Amino acid sequence: MEREEVVGRRVRAQQLDRPPASRGLTEAAVFDLGVQDTGRDGASWALVNRGVPVGSPAELESSAEVSLVWTLRSAPHYYRRTDLPDVLVATSPFSDRDAAKRMVGADAPLRAAGITNRAGLAEIAARMRDVVTEPMAKGELSGRLSAVLDEPYLRDCVTCAAHHPWEVPFRTSALYAGLELTPGTSPPLLRPVPGWSRPAVGAADDPLAAPDRLQVIRASLRLLGPCQPKDVAGFLDAPVAEVKARWPDDAEAVTVQGRTVWLLPEQADQPAGKTEHDTEPLVRLLGPFDLLLQGRDRDLLLPDTGRHKALWPTLGRPGAVLVGTDLAGTWRPRANGGRLTLALDLWQPVRGALRERLQEQAERLAAHRGVRLAGIEG
């Protein structure tokens, strides 16, 4: 299997090749793995790029069909509201060892106090559920938790000049407490999930008890595959051994550029080749945290490794220009009043009809933001 075929399969699996306004909101396949909402219009633009008729970020934020919660990598993700109890199960850590890696250092004081990581998350969730009975700002909740949690759950924060709960367990435990984020709020406002009926607090015992389409390993393979266990582990921020131990029995091995990777049976039936007509390759302006860019096999996504730091810097990620199955450059928006300028850094020529399609995508982005496109630079 060639690189172009692999990326083409991901494009189709993630529905990036769908025409505008082709489906209802919750029909987007990426909801199975969550639509990350990091940065300006992150989730709403990701859905627009997949043919979902979301007119503006505010339209997504006000939809009763979806819920915004902290899950994978402790980042905010949108899910179908009806899936939320199963999402909790699917995104729970596989084990205490897995929870330790996801907690990014917060496991050490728990371990020293003889507290298991999953028990620690359950304790934070229980306290959260007691405290949050109506919408509450993150800072207020953090302060109130600091007053009721024992020392192993707290740390000195130089940035905040305060002694408060560790950040990642705080975020991770919110869903375990039956809490969601109020979209469009900064600082975040947490609130109880309406109609939440799960009596227990804390992580689920068996993430594989979730429906197949929501199980994070299977969903990663379906939307970011074919790939290797280490790629899925990197995406989930989980230990590779934990992912290998739960690798789907029906996953099929194939070879891509000398590497053995795996795909699910339904992926094997997907058509190969280009994503659209040969004369009209796909053009998309992908947001900085678009799912297509989240694959951990970056050498396959962008073979020119010298461009990796430009596309995936530690801070301040740009968006990516997708042309067919190639990442052709980066883009950054510059807003001035009611006008938007798109600054491009193109790594390969985009001319003629492709340039016109790039212009169309820039106009779509401006319209989504409710402004006028001033022009494209680069």
Among candidate residues 78, 82, 94, the one with its CA nearest the CA of residue 237 = 94
Does 214 fall in a domain?
no
Crossing angle of helices 117-131 and 138-148, rounded to 10°: 120
Angular region, 32: left φ>0, alpha ψ -120 to 50, beta rest: alpha
The answer to whether residue 351 scores a pLDDT higher than 90 is no
The domain boundary residue, chosen from 203, 230, 261: 203
Instruction: Kindly state the percentage of the chain with pLDDT values over 70.
Output: 96
Mean pLDDT, residues 200-217: 97
Does 307 fall in a domain?
yes
Of residues 68 and 353, more confidence is placed in 68
Among candidate residues 234, 325, 345, the one with its CA nearest the CA of residue 272 = 325
176-197 confidence digits (pLDDT tens): 999 999 999 999 999 999 999 8
> What is the three-state SS of 124-150?
HHHHHHHHCCCCEEHHHHHHHHHHHCC
Please provide the size of the chain in residues. 378
Among candidate residues 333, 335, 330, the one with its CA nearest the CA of residue 320 = 330
The domain boundary residue, chosen from 168, 203, 238: 203
Contact 33, 291 (CB under 8 A): yes
Domain count, the chain: 2
Single-letter code of the amino acid located at 317: R
- pTM over 0.85, yes/no: yes
Contact 292, 16 (CB under 8 A): yes
Does 239 fall in a domain?
no
The answer to whether residue 156 scores a pLDDT higher than 90 is no
3-62 confidence digits (pLDDT tens): 999 999 999 999 999 988 767 899 999 999 999 999 998 999 999 999 999 999 999 999
Domain limits at 316?
283-377
The domain boundary residue, chosen from 185, 203, 221: 203
Q: Which two tokens stand for residue 268?
A: 């094997």
Which residues, including other chains, have CB under 8 Å from residue 377's CB and lie 6 or more apart?
A: 341, 342, 343, 344
